[in-house]
Amino acid sequence: MNKLHLAVAATVMMASPVFAGDAAAGKGKSMMCAACHGAAGISMVPTYPNLAGQKEAYLAKQLKDFKSGTRKDATMKGMVASLSDADMENLAAYYASLN
């Protein structure tokens, strides 16, 4: 491959990330999220964000940041404390799959 082909391949790979989340498994874990973020990922409370339709990578990162303490929120820190990385990826896949 020449340099142009390598550059194009790298760009495509970065623009098309592969996500490992299992939306069906995420749906099973989503009940704990529903009280604040709504059963279908649409919050009825203006201060709580809608999760439905958000990008999967974004949601997974936010959950992991709450768990690590990089992003600070006492309520979310408690909610994600017992979640594994797979649980967070599955929840992200589920909410990303919703309209």
Tokens of 61: 């990162």
Q: How far apart are alpha carbons 87 and 38 in whole angstroms?
A: 18
pLDDT given for residue 20 in this prediction: 78
Measure the CA–CA gap between 1 and 19, rounded to whole angstroms.
27
Cα dihedral across residues 86, 88, 89, 91: positive or negative: positive
Tens-digit pLDDT profile for residues 37-90: 999 999 999 999 999 999 999 999 999 999 999 999 999 999 999 999 999 999
Q: Please return the burial class of 91, using the count of CB atoms within 10 Å of its CB with bins 0-12, 13-18 and 19+.
A: buried
**Global pTM value:** 0.81
Burial of 92 (0-12, 13-18, 19+ CB in 10 A): buried
pLDDT band at 9 (very low <50, low <70, confident <90, very high): low
At residue 12, the pLDDT reads: 46
All domains in the chain, ordered by first residue: 21-97 (1.10.760.10)
pLDDT class of 16 with cuts at 50, 70, 90:
very low
For 2, 37, 69, 71, 86, the CA distances from 79, given in Å and listed in that order, are 49, 12, 12, 13, 15
